[in-house]
C-alpha cells in the first residue's frame, strides 16, 4: 500500500541512558505507518496518534494493546498467505515501542518534521474528484438499521482513468458497510440531475424505477467495510470513469441510540496514463455468483457451531489483485483457496478468528494467477451459541441469509478484484 505520509528523521547524538531506548522519531514513524491510518481526525478510531502528545499520553495503553496483540488489528493468517497491506507490527517494531515506553516515553531530543496526512483521504495525495451528497443525511437514533441508496450525478469534460478509489465519509462509526456502483448515462437527452437524491432501500416505492433505469450501463462496483483501506492499482491498471453518469451509494447504517448526521461519497484519483489492464470485480456467495451453491444452505440454528462451503469454477484466466472476505457477527473462521485444473492448490485468505469490527480488502504482494477452470473454495464457520461474545441475539435465535443483509442476518461472501491474466503478472509488485 502506498503510504499516505512522509517521514523526515533528524539524527541526533544521544547519551548512554537515552541510547538504550529508540528515539521518539523512530517510534513515531512506526505509529504513523501502522496505527495512524485509523487513528487520526475523521477516521474510525476514537483518538488521534499523530503527535508526541497524542502518543505519550496513551503510552501505557499502547503498551498493553500491542503486548496483547490486540492492536494494530490484522486478522489474516500470514502463514497461510502474506499480504502487501499488512499493518501488523513486526517483532522489532513492537520491541522498539515497548522499550520507548519503558524508558518513560522520552520526547525527541531535537525537533523533527512529519508531513501531515492529506485531509479526508488515506491515499498518497489529495483526490482529483470527490463526489458526495449535497447535505447531511439524518440517521435517526431509533435503534433501527437502514439501507439508503444515494444518487450522485456528475458530468466531466471527458472520460477519466481511475488509479484509486476510496470512501469519503464524515462518520465511519455509524456505517455497517457501503457499496458504490458507477454507471454511465450516455444519452444527454436523459436528465441525471434533479429528482430524489436518495431512496429508502426498505421502502423504495416509485423511486426504485428511476434508480433501476440508471443501472443500465455498469462501469465498476466496489465498496467499503469496517477496517478497509483505499483501493489502488499498479501503473497501467485501472478502470475508466465515463464522462457522464451517476454513482449509486448503497449505505447500510447500523442501529443507533442517538441521532447522527452522515455525509458519504467517493474520492477518485485519476491517472493521465493509459489503462492497459481493466480492473474488474466479481462477488461469490451471498448476494453474488453461486449463492444457491452454498452447502448446506446458509441457515444457522440457535445454539450450534456450523460449517458451510461454496465451490465456484472460474470462467477466465484471472490475475487477482485483492480478495475481500465478508461475514457478520456470527462468523468464526473464514478460509478461501483455489484448485487449478492441473491440481495445484493456491491459498487465498484465512481469517482464523473472524471479527466483524475489523475487515479489509486484502491486497496480494503480487498478482495471483487463477487459470480458467480453477475452482474457488470458500469455507465459513459460524458460531450461533451463547458463548459467542459478538452474538447480537440473547438468547441465540435462528439466523438466515436474506436479501436484506442486515447485520443480524448472515452472509458468506468472497469478492475478487482482478484483471485478465497475462504472462509475467506474478513479477508485478503490488
One domain for residues 272 and 286: no
One domain for residues 248 and 378: no
Write the pLDDT tens digit of every residue in 209-237: 777 777 788 899 999 987 777 899 999 99
What percent helix, strand, coil does the chain show, rounded to 5?
Answer: 15, 35, 50
Evaluate whether residue 124 is within a structural domain.
no
| Higher pLDDT pick, 177 / 298 | 298
CA 132 → CA 166, 209, 225, distances in Å? 12, 22, 18
What local confidence, expressed as pLDDT, does residue 284 receive?
96
> Binning pLDDT at 50, 70 and 90, where does residue 8 land?
very low
Closest CA to 334 of 390, 412, 225, 398: 412
What local confidence, expressed as pLDDT, does residue 177 receive?
87
One domain for residues 335 and 271: no
One domain for residues 370 and 357: yes
Return d(Cα 184, Cα 419) in angstroms, integer.
21
Return d(Cα 302, Cα 395) in angstroms, integer.
8
Write the pLDDT tens digit of every residue in 25-59: 889 989 988 888 888 876 778 888 988 999 999 99
Evaluate whether residue 122 is within a structural domain.
no
Reply yes or no on whether the pLDDT at 201 is more than 80: no
One domain for residues 81 and 204: no
Closest CA to 272 of 222, 243, 310, 236: 236
| Higher pLDDT pick, 295 / 14 | 295
What's the number of domains the chain is made of?
Answer: 3
Reply yes or no on whether the pLDDT at 397 is more than 60: yes
One domain for residues 88 and 48: yes
Reply yes or no on whether the pLDDT at 319 is more than 50: yes
Return d(Cα 79, Cα 57) in angstroms, integer.
35
For residue 175, give the C-alpha cell: 456505517
| Higher pLDDT pick, 359 / 386 | 386
> Binning pLDDT at 50, 70 and 90, where does residue 126 land?
very high
| CATH code at position 228 | 2.60.120
Beta partners for residue 245, in sequence order? 154, 184
Return d(Cα 71, Cα 67) in angstroms, integer.
9
Return d(Cα 220, Cα 241) in angstroms, integer.
8
| CATH code at position 294 | 2.60.120.230
One domain for residues 304 and 415: yes
Reply yes or no on whether the pLDDT at 14 is more than 70: no
Closest CA to 377 of 351, 356, 346, 399: 346
CA 332 → CA 260, 305, 412, distances in Å? 31, 9, 11
One domain for residues 25 and 100: yes
What local confidence, expressed as pLDDT, does residue 403 receive?
57
Closest CA to 370 of 428, 421, 427: 421
Q: Among the three residues 278, 313, 347, which one is the final residue of a domain in this structure?
A: 278
Evaluate whether residue 123 is within a structural domain.
no
What local confidence, expressed as pLDDT, does residue 225 receive?
83
One domain for residues 309 and 246: no
113-150 burial code (b ≥16 CB/10 A, e <16): ebeebeebbbbbeebeeebbbeeebebeeeeebbbbbb
Mean pLDDT of all residues in 131-150: 93
> Binning pLDDT at 50, 70 and 90, where does residue 127 land?
very high
Reply yes or no on whether the pLDDT at 286 is more than 60: yes
Return d(Cα 56, Cα 107) in angstroms, integer.
8
Cβ-based burial of 389 (10 A; exposed 0-12, middle 13-18, buried ≥19): exposed
What local confidence, expressed as pLDDT, does residue 208 receive?
74
Cβ-based burial of 244 (10 A; exposed 0-12, middle 13-18, buried ≥19): middle
Question: Which residues 6+ apart lie within 8 Å of 339 measured at CB?
Answer: 345, 346, 374, 375, 377
Reply yes or no on whether the pLDDT at 266 is more than 50: yes
For residue 168, give the C-alpha cell: 469519503
Q: Considering the entire predicted model, what is its pTM?
A: 0.87
For residue 92, give the C-alpha cell: 522489532
What local confidence, expressed as pLDDT, does residue 69 receive?
87
Reply yes or no on whether the pLDDT at 359 is more than 70: yes
Evaluate whether residue 87 is within a structural domain.
yes
- 24 phi, psi to nearest 5 deg: -60, -35
What percent of the chain has pLDDT above 90?
65
Return d(Cα 86, Cα 78) in angstroms, integer.
9
Q: Among the three residues 235, 263, 278, which one is the final residue of a domain in this structure?
A: 278
Evaluate whether residue 109 is within a structural domain.
yes
Mean pLDDT of all residues in 95-102: 95
Least confident of 165-179, 188-202, 268-282, 383-397: 188-202
Q: Among the three residues 114, 142, 170, which one is the final residue of a domain in this structure?
A: 114
Q: E strand or H helix at 380, and its extent?
A: strand 375-384
Least confident of 40-44, 165-169, 321-325: 40-44
What local confidence, expressed as pLDDT, does residue 3 receive?
40
Evaluate whether residue 190 is within a structural domain.
yes
One domain for residues 324 and 219: no
Evaluate whether residue 22 is within a structural domain.
yes
Give the residue numbers spanning the domain of 409.
281-427
One domain for residues 136 and 24: no
Reply yes or no on whether the pLDDT at 405 is more than 70: no
Q: Across all residues in the chain, what is the average pLDDT?
A: 88
Evaluate whether residue 363 is within a structural domain.
yes
One domain for residues 146 and 286: no
Amino acid at each position: 500500500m502506498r503510504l499516505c505520509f512522509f517521514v523526515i528523521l533528524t539524527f541526533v547524538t544521544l547519551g548512554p541512558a537515552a541510547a538504550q531506548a529508540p528515539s521518539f522519531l523512530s517510534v513515531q514513524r512506526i505509529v504513523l505507518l501502522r496505527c495512524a491510518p485509523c487513528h487520526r481526525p475523521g477516521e474510525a478510531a476514537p483518538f488521534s496518534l499523530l503527535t508526541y502528545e497524542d502518543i505519550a499520553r496513551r503510552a501505557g495503553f499502547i503498551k498493553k494493546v500491542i503486548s496483547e496483540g490486540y492492536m494494530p488489528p490484522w486478522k489474516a493468517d500470514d502463514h497461510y498467505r502474506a499480504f502487501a497491506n499488512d499493518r501488523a507490527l513486526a517483532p522489532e517494531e513492537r520491541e522498539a515501542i515497548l522499550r520507548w515506553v519503558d524508558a518513560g516515553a522520552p520526547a525527541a531530543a531535537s525537533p523533527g518534521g512529519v508531513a501531515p496526512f492529506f485531509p479526508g483521504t488515506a491515499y498518497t495525495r489529495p483526490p482529483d474528484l470527490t463526489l458526495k451528497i449535497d447535505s447531511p443525511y439524518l440517521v435517526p437514533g431509533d435503534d433501527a438499521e437502514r439501507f439508503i441508496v444515494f444518487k450522485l450525478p456528475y458530468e466531466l469534460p471527458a472520460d477519466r482513468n481511475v488509479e484509486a478509489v476510496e470512501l469519503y465519509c464524515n462518520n465511519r462509526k455509524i456505517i455497517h458497510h457501503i457499496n458504490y456502483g458507477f454507471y454511465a448515462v450516455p444519452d444527454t437527452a436523459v436528465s441525471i440531475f434533479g429528482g430524489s437524491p436518495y431512496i429508502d432501500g426498505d421502502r423504495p416505492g416509485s423511486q426504485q424505477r428511476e434508480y433501476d433505469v440508471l443501472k443500465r450501463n455498469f462501469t465498476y462496483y466496489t465498496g467499503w467495510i469496517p477496517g478497509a483501506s483505499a483501493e489502488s492499482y499498479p501503473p497501467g491498471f485501472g478502470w475508466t470513469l465515463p464522462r457522464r453518469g451517476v454513482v449509486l451509494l448503497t449505505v447500510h447504517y447500523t442501529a443507533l441510540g442517538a441521532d447522527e448526521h452522515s455525509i458519504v461519497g467517493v474520492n477518485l484519483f485519476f491517472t493521465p496514463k493509459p489503462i492497459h489492464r481493466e480492473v474488474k470485480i466479481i462477488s461469490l456467495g451471498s448476494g453474488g455468483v453461486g449463492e444457491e451453491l452454498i452447502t448446506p444452505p446458509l441457515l444457522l440454528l440457535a445454539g450450534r457451531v456450523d460449517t458451510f462451503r461454496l465451490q465456484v469454477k472460474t470462467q477466465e484466466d484471472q490475475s487477482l489483485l485483492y480478495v475481500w472476505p465478508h461475514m457478520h457477527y456470527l462468523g468464526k473462521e473464514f478460509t478461501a483457496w483455489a484448485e487449478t485444473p492441473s491440481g495445484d492448490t493456491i491459498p487465498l485468505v484465512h481469517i482464523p478468528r473472524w471479527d466483524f469490527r475489523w475487515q479489509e480488502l486484502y491486497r496480494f504482494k503480487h498478482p495471483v494467477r487463477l487459470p480458467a477452470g480453477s475452482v474457488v473454495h470458500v469455507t465459513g464457520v459460524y458460531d450461533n451459541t451463547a458463548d459467542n461474545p459478538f452474538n447480537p441475539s440473547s438468547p441465540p435465535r435462528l439466523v438466515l441469509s436474506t436479501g436484506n443483509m442486515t447485520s443480524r442476518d448472515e452472509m458468506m461472501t468472497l469478492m475478487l478484484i482482478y484483471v485478465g491474466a497475462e504472462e509475467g503478472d506474478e513479477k508485478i509488485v503490488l
